[in-house]
Amino acid sequence: MSIALKQVFNKDKTFRPKRKFEPGTQRFELHKRAQASLNSGVDLKAAVQLPNGEDLNDWVAVHVVDFFNRINLIYGTICEFCTERTCPVMSGGPKYEYRWQDDLKYKKPTALPAPQYMNLLMDWIEVQINNEDIFPTSVGVPFPKNFLQICKKILCRLFRVFVHVYIHHFDRIIIMGAEAHVNTCYKHFYYFVTELNVIDRKELEPLKEMTARMCH
């Protein structure tokens, strides 16, 4: 990563404080192992495969938190250019519009400007990953039965951040020299969700052509 790019990504422009794993826990060890394999330049396709003998829920939990932290950071770098004027609708080009629903304030899918959608999305994910009943941090506390379903929804919504950034704000990413970093993060995310089949294929359609060039 270039020095200029490091400065961009170290400004801590994340919307939210990073969620970290407790040292000494299995998830902390898995997180360290996943990071080490990425840093060693191992093939991304190999890096996302569930290690032998490890629990699927633990592996997914580690990646959901890591992707949240990193995608949060990517959006944070362009958020000043994503305004209600530039992006009055949360979309991925003219064919794809994303509406917000959270069963709290927004009981029905509601069209919102992109920055408002992003804020609600990051808030919603942060609540999930900081909820001990969903993402338990204590050793021996089991995951809830619907854990994978919750993670699928989180990952599906995080994918929409990539869609919006790539289709509407990639010029800013290029100007900042962050293209390689964002592309690597996207490839890692794409290989993970397809390896474990945790995002419906039709959700991946908006970036299908770009993905074919980048990942195949």
Per residue in 195-214, pLDDT (tens digit) is 999 999 999 999 999 999 98
Q: Is there a domain that residue 6 lies in?
A: no
Q: Is residue 14 part of a domain?
A: no
Of 10-24, 37-51, 88-102, least confident by mean pLDDT is 10-24
DSSP secondary structure letters along 29-71: HHHHHHHHHHHTT--HHHHTSPPTT--HHHHHHHHHHHHHHHH
Q: Is 87 assigned to a binding site?
A: yes
In a domain, 74, yes or no: yes
Residue 204 contacts residue 160 (beta carbons within 8 Å): no
Q: Structure pTM?
A: 0.85
Give me the CATH number covering residue 94: 1.20.140.30
| Structural domain includes residue 2 | no
What separation, in Å, do the N-terminal and C-terminal C-alpha atoms of the chain show?
24
Structural domain contains residue 13: no
Q: Consult the annotation and say whether 31 binds a ligand.
A: no
Asked whether residue 42 is assigned to any structural domain, the reply reads: yes
DSSP secondary structure string, 150-216? HHHHHHHHHHHHHHHHHHHSHHHHHHTT-HHHHHHHHHHHHHHHHHTT-S-GGGGGGGHHHHHHHH-
Per the domain annotation, does 175 fall within a domain?
A: yes
Which residue has tokens 């969620």? 19
Check whether 185 is labelled as a binding-site residue.
Answer: no
| Domain membership flag for residue 73 | yes
List pLDDT tens digits, range 174-183: 999 999 889 9
Looking at the 3D structure of the chain, how many domains does it have? 1
Whether residue 151 is annotated as binding a ligand: the answer is no
Domain that holds residue 187: 26-215
